[in-house]
Amino acid sequence: MDEGRPSASAQRVAAYRLTFERPEAPFGDPEADERLARDVAAQSAGTRDDRMAKYLKARTAFFDRVLLNALERDVSQVVSIGAGYDGRALRYAKPGVTWFEVDHPATQGDKRERLGRLGISSDNIRFVGADFRDPGLAHAIVGGGYNTNAPSVVLCEGVAVYLGLPVIESVLRELRDVSTVGGRLAVSFSVSGGSPELSARRQRFQAGVEALGEPVRSVVDEDEVPTLMASTGWSVREISKKARRAGFVVAEPGWAPRRGTGAGGGGHAPARASRTEELMERVHHRAGMESLPAHLEATYGAGVARLSELDLGVFRVDRLEGPSWVARVFPAARPVQAAEGDAEILRYLAQEDFPAERLAHPDPVSVHEGQGVLVTEYVAGTAPAGGRQTFELLGDLLGRLHALAPPAGATGLARPGGGWHHVVPQGDTREELAVAVSLLGEAEERVPASCSALYEVLRDELASADDCQDLPHALVHPDFVPPNAVSLPDGGVVIVDWAGSGSGPRLACLGFLLWAAGARGQGCVDAAAAGYRRHVRLGNDELERLDGAVGLRGLVMQCWEFCVGRRRLAAVADGLPAARAHAGAVAARAREAFA
Ligand SMILES: C[S@@+](CC[C@H](N)C(=O)[O-])C[C@H]1O[C@@H](n2cnc3c(N)ncnc32)[C@H](O)[C@@H]1O
At residue 425, the pLDDT reads 84
The better pLDDT of the pair 197, 334 is held by 334
The one-letter code for the residue type at 119 is: G
Looking at 147-161, 250-264, 580-594, which range is the least confident one? 250-264
Q: Which of 502, 499, 446, 497 is nearest to 473 (CA)?
A: 502
- 311: Cβ contacts below 8 Å, ≥ 6 apart: none
Residue 327: what are its φ and ψ, rounded to 5°? -110, 125
For the chain, percent of residues with pLDDT exceeding 70? 96
Nearest CA, atom 11, ligand 1: 82
Question: What end-to-end distance do the CA atoms of the chain give, in Å?
Answer: 76
- Within 10 angstroms of residue 505's Cβ, the number of other Cβ atoms is 26
pLDDT at 466 over 60: yes
- Using an 8 Å Cβ cutoff, are 440 and 451 in contact? no
Looking at 61-75, 87-101, 445-459, which range is the least confident one? 445-459
Nearest CA, atom 22, ligand 1: 104
How many CA atoms does the CB half-sphere of 467 hold within 13 Å? 21
Q: How far is CA 111 from CA 45, 85, 146, 156, in A?
A: 17, 6, 21, 18
Residue 66 to residue 187: CA distance in whole angstroms: 10
Q: Where are the alpha helices (DSSP H) in 444-499?
A: 452-463
CA angle 181, 156, 70 (to 5 degrees): 45
At residue 264, the pLDDT reads 37
Q: How far is CA 29 from CA 32, 58, 87, 155, in A?
A: 6, 22, 10, 19
For 274, which DSSP code?
S
For the chain, percent of residues with pLDDT exceeding 90? 75
SS3 category, 210: helix
Q: Which of 500, 592, 502 is nearest to 546 (CA)?
A: 592
Rounded to the nearest angstrom, the distance between the alpha carbon of 105 and the centre of ligand 1 is 10
- Using an 8 Å Cβ cutoff, are 323 and 465 in contact? no
Q: Tens digits of per-residue pLDDT, 343-373?
A: 999 999 999 999 999 999 999 999 999 999 9
Handedness of CA 509, 515, 518, 519 (dihedral sign): negative
- Using an 8 Å Cβ cutoff, are 580 and 588 in contact? no
Pairing of strands 191-192, 220-221: parallel
pLDDT at 18 over 90: yes
At residue 266, the pLDDT reads 40
Pocket test for ligand 1, best of 3, 34, 100, 159 (most atoms within 8 A of CB): 159
pLDDT at 1 over 80: no
Pocket test for ligand 1, best of 114, 125, 157, 162 (most atoms within 8 A of CB): 162
Q: Tens digits of per-residue pLDDT, 283-341?
A: 888 999 999 999 999 999 879 999 999 998 999 999 999 999 999 999 998 999 999 99
Residue 252: what are its φ and ψ, rounded to 5°? -120, 165
**Whether the CB of 503 sits within 6 Å of ligand 1:** no
Residue 539 to residue 196: CA distance in whole angstroms: 68
What's the pLDDT band for 268 if we cut at 50, 70, 90?
Answer: very low
Nearest CA, atom 13, ligand 1: 82
Residue 30 to residue 32: CA distance in whole angstroms: 5
**Whether the CB of 64 sits within 6 Å of ligand 1:** no
**Whether the CB of 359 sits within 6 Å of ligand 1:** no
Looking at residues 390-417, what average pLDDT do you find?
92
The closest-lying atom of ligand 1 relative to the alpha carbon of residue 80 is: 6
The closest-lying atom of ligand 1 relative to the alpha carbon of residue 84 is: 27
Element (H, E) at 515: helix 506-520
- 204: Cβ contacts below 8 Å, ≥ 6 apart: 51
pLDDT at 3 over 70: no
At residue 261, the pLDDT reads 38
Rounded to the nearest angstrom, the distance between the alpha carbon of 440 and the centre of ligand 1 is 38
Looking at residues 490-512, what average pLDDT do you find?
96
**Whether the CB of 82 sits within 6 Å of ligand 1:** yes
Pairing of strands 325-329, 234-236: unpaired
Pocket test for ligand 1, best of 1, 11, 133, 209 (most atoms within 8 A of CB): 1
Each residue of 161-196: b (16+ CB within 10 Å) or e?
bbbeeebbebbbbbbbbbbbbbbbbbbbbbbbeeee
Residue 408 to residue 406: CA distance in whole angstroms: 6
Our CA dihedral for 411, 414, 420, 426, rounded to 10 degrees, sits at -30
Looking at residues 525-535, what average pLDDT do you find?
98
Looking at 42-51, 240-249, 396-405, 428-437, which range is the least confident one? 42-51
pLDDT at 215 over 90: no
- Using an 8 Å Cβ cutoff, are 548 and 541 in contact? no
List 493's β-bridge partners, or say none: 487
Query: Mean pLDDT in the chain?
Result: 92
Q: Tens digits of per-residue pLDDT, 31-44?
A: 999 999 999 999 87
pLDDT at 208 over 80: no
What's the pLDDT band for 117 if we cut at 50, 70, 90?
Answer: very high
Residue 547 to residue 188: CA distance in whole angstroms: 47
Q: Which of 398, 315, 330, 402 is nearest to 365 (CA)?
A: 330
**Whether the CB of 214 sits within 6 Å of ligand 1:** no
Q: Tens digits of per-residue pLDDT, 224-243?
A: 999 999 999 999 987 788 89
pLDDT at 263 over 50: no
At residue 282, the pLDDT reads 83
Pairing of strands 184-188, 485-487: unpaired
Write the DSSP assignment of 547-564 as a string of letters.
Answer: HHHHHHHHHHHHHHHHHT
Residue 548 to residue 396: CA distance in whole angstroms: 22
**Whether the CB of 5 sits within 6 Å of ligand 1:** no
Counts for the chain of helices (H) and strands (E), in that order: 22, 18
**Whether the CB of 162 sits within 6 Å of ligand 1:** yes
At residue 138, the pLDDT reads 96
Spacing of C-alpha 455 from chain mean position: 22
pLDDT at 153 over 80: yes
Rounded to the nearest angstrom, the distance between the alpha carbon of 10 and the centre of ligand 1 is 6
- Within 10 angstroms of residue 84's Cβ, the number of other Cβ atoms is 25
- Using an 8 Å Cβ cutoff, are 96 and 68 in contact? no
Element (H, E) at 359: none
